[in-house]
Amino acid sequence: MNKNRILISTSSFAQYDKELLENLKNHGMEFVLNPYKRVLLEKELVELCRECVGLIAGTEKITADVLRKLDELKVISRCGAGLDNIDLEAAKQLGIKVYNTPDAPTRAVAELTLGLMLNVLRGISKSDREMRKSNWNKPMGTLLAGKKVGIIGLGRIGKEVARLVRAFGAEVLAYDIAIASSNIAIMADLNKLLADSDVVTLHIPSGKEAFIDERKLAIMKAGACFINASRGGLVNEEALYGALKSGKLAGAGIDTFEKEPYQGKLIELENVVLTAHIGSYAKEARALMEKQAVDNLLLGLEVKK
């Protein structure tokens, strides 16, 4: 075992702040970077992290089985807010410290969510595709102003989305199992939110099953738009495809997918905007997330500055 060996499993790291890697070196740390440049499979994670005491983690699944195979692991420093990809109970039982960076990606994800909304409502990507085919078509869109935006999950990102869309003149409905009232949104029953909202956006952690399934899509207002910049697996993608293809939903903007890189049927549809899980991929947000992840790792390993 190398007591200073760590794995950085995120698909990209220190692209905009090279000093982070120098900082690790200056603290005597030996690091391994993700050679696959994508989310690691469980067997790949175990192979790369087997002799590491620390892990700067991305969104890969860190299950109890994985953790039990990493005998030397002492600290997991999640580069991002969500911890739903980590078996926290298993980590606790094994004495592994877990940290995250909850504030750093908030604005970046919220702004992407807003961008997806505006894109879907105005047909921006569709118009761009037509222009590139030399077709001077003018798709008729609709305004965000005056719409009801339903936010499922009123945590840090959900609240920031609420502030942004209110600035556009939208009315905000929200559903959160832990929040009864809010000064930035009208709290609503989930079914009412789905039925009344012109735009529905997800900002909740992953669960064992898809949160948005065929039944919930059926409740949604005809002609509504759906946005997911939260987690892949929260949406039944087959059911979403059906709702978009049939015209039940007017459009969707999707940044996260059950299986990534995504190559599924939604690619076939003109009324969906797809992005490659880029919610936190703003230079400022990534740099801050990565700095905080390094700081948390060194703190957890009790490395003196």
> Which residues make Cβ contacts (< 8 Å) with residue 297, sequence separation at least 6?
6, 54, 56, 75, 77, 99
Catalytic residue among 107, 231, 237, 286: 231
- The first and second tokens of residue 65, run together, are 């089985």
Catalytic residue among 107, 203, 277, 286: 277
60 annotated active-site: no
Catalytic residue among 42, 44, 130, 260: 260
Contact 217, 197 (CB under 8 A): no
42 annotated active-site: no
277 annotated active-site: yes
Strand partners for 98: 76
Which 8-state DSSP code applies to residue 39? P
Contact 205, 82 (CB under 8 A): yes
Q: Report the candidate in 178, 170, 213 with the shortest Cα–Cα distance to residue 194.
A: 213
**Radius of gyration, CA atoms only, the chain:** 21
By annotation, the residues acting in catalysis are 231, 260, 277
